[in-house]
Amino acid sequence: MKALLQKEFTLSLHPMAIVFLCFAALVFVPNYPYEVIFFFSGLSVYFICMTARENGDLLFTCSLPVTKRSVALARILTAVILQCALLIFTALCIGVKQIVYPRELLVNLAANSANLAFCGFGGLLLGTFNLVFFPLYYRDPNRVGIPFLIATAVQFGLIALMIILRHMPFYAPLTVPDPTGWGAKLTVLLCGLTLYAAMTFSAARLSLRTFERVDL
Amino acid sequence: MKALEVEALKKVYPDFTLGPLSFGVEEGQITGLIGRNGAGKSTTLKAMMGLISCEGRVRVFGKDFSEEEFAVKERLGYVGGGFRFYPAKPLSAVARAAARFYPHWNEETFLHSCNEYGLILSKRVRELSEGMKMKFSLALALSHGAKLLLLDEPTSGLDPLSREDFCDTLLTLKGQGVTILFSTHITSDLMRVADHILYLSNGKLLANEPLAGLLGRYRVQRFASFEEGHAAGAIGVKPTKMGLEGLVTGFEGREATLDEVMIHLEYAQKETI
């Protein structure tokens, strides 16, 4: 798996995947729908899969001494590494913002505020993308666009729902700056990260099984 | 000893069925897999590599592919239709990535092969000619000690001189004990290098025999009419520039080329359908 991951990062990784990690800094923009940060993560996965298709990557890799299942797993793990890096960068940027910004600018009027709970929402959005995109992609790796469109549509549906919920009274503890309401925020964070892990695990299981039957 | 044994290999598509195919490839031989476009040559090679899901068993140097995939792939070099991978990457990057997968990768052999084939490692894949791409694939395969090469249409897209050059390389590899199975529809290449022929037609194996035996069995005879051809028991009588020609068994007529054997047998198949 180490050799496969090294191959993913040296031959398959699209440079934009690294650039999109920097989009974590969007949390510094006041009153902005920060959820789109996680859309760009999906876009980087799309670019990687597109580049792989254009490079004949799957055929090349599957002819090496590896199983087809491990080839699929390596790509999903690459996405997971990038997504975890994005979550960590976002958390770091949020931490800096909480310290540097005046309190009135810490409440986001456009969507979710950049606080402890936001990374939980991020986990939910990333996990949803993985669960929809990867099993569809591995049904036919030559068709990258349709799985991406469907996964993105579901992701944006969730973002819209989050924006609507943000204006509900029961949501108030999650919009305030840290550390106020840390109990509710921590619960959201843990739930989000757990869901991310569970959805990505399910995505990997489905994808591996599907890819094994695919003809290259 | 057989380098490759294939048993009841079968793949069913909605509009095409490959096999069931059973054949073997002798160690140290060059075997040509021939057939017209769409006969199933690439599917056969891909099925043997596990790149498509299919029924049947494949053994490489006595090892079962499904049971010992890693060990089998370490001894295999597969090149599918020229090296079309990672066109924007330098050869060194591709080789470095591939090397990590092979415990027996020999960097010295790789550099030696590159030197011998005139490959410059700082060049990008897209900067190579088709012939050089093929040689890069061979250099990769030889560096991990592949003893069986599966080449899918390696000479299509090459000019006659590059093909000649490539065939010389194959003969050199054969001299080093490498077994080669390569699919092609350019049968003149096989006339130069092949010991054995597997002839695939519409997914079925039509011939599996030494090249000399296949060529020795048939002769080409000219006929004045189709009736005369059929009366003589000729196979695949068809019009040519010189008149009607068909394959006959016996001593009459002139020697047949592999091209002619393939064309007339294919024609006979079509007539049967």
Beta strand residue intervals within chain B, DSSP E: 2-13, 16-26, 30-34, 55-60, 63-64, 76-80, 148-152, 179-184, 196-201, 204-210, 219-223, 235-240, 243-248, 254-255
Count CB neighbours of A20 within 10 A: 21
> Bigger pLDDT: A185 or B158?
A185
Q: What is the dihedral of CA A15, A114, A39, A204, to 10 degrees?
A: 90
Say whether pLDDT at A210 is over 80. Answer: yes
Q: State both tokens at A157.
A: 């549906």
What pLDDT, on the 0 to 100 scale, is given for residue B81?
66
Contacts of B100 in chain A (CB under 8 A): 2-3, 6-7
User: Tell me, what's the ipTM?
Assistant: 0.81
Cβ atoms of B144 and B113 closer than 8 Å: no
Closest chain A residue to the Cα of B87, Cα to Cα: A55
Query: Distance between CA B25 and CA B5 in Å, rounded?
Result: 7
What pLDDT, on the 0 to 100 scale, is given for residue A172?
77
If pLDDT is split at 50, 70 and 90, which confidence band does B143 have?
A: confident
Distance from CA of B195 to the nearest CA of A (A): 26
User: At A176, is the secondary structure helix, strand, or coil?
Assistant: coil
Q: Which of A59, A68, A71, A210 to mutate to test binding with chain B, by most B CBs within 10 Å of its CB? A: A59
Q: Is A212 on the interface with B (CB under 8 A)?
A: yes
Residue type (1 letter), B45? L
Q: Which of A1, A4, A5, A11 to mutate to test binding with chain B, by most B CBs within 10 Å of its CB? A: A11
For chain B, the structural domain boundaries read 2-202, 214-272
User: CATH classification of B2-202, choosing from 1.20.1420.20, 3.40.50.300, 2.60.40.1120, 3.90.850.10?
Assistant: 3.40.50.300
Cβ atoms of A213 and B54 closer than 8 Å: no
If pLDDT is split at 50, 70 and 90, which confidence band does B273 have?
A: low
Residue among A10, A57, A66 minimizing CB distance to B101: A66
Express each pLDDT in B146-166 by its tens digit. Answer: 889 999 888 877 788 888 888
pTM, to two decimals: 0.85
Which of A81-85, A205-209, B248-252 has the least mean pLDDT? Answer: B248-252
Parallel/antiparallel/unpaired status of strands B76-80 and B219-223: unpaired
In the DSSP assignment, the letter for residue B33 is E
Closest chain B residue to the Cα of A214, Cα to Cα: B52
Residue among A56, A67, A68 minimizing CB distance to B85: A56
What mean pLDDT is predicted for residues A132-151?
A: 95
Q: State both tokens at B166.
A: 């490539």
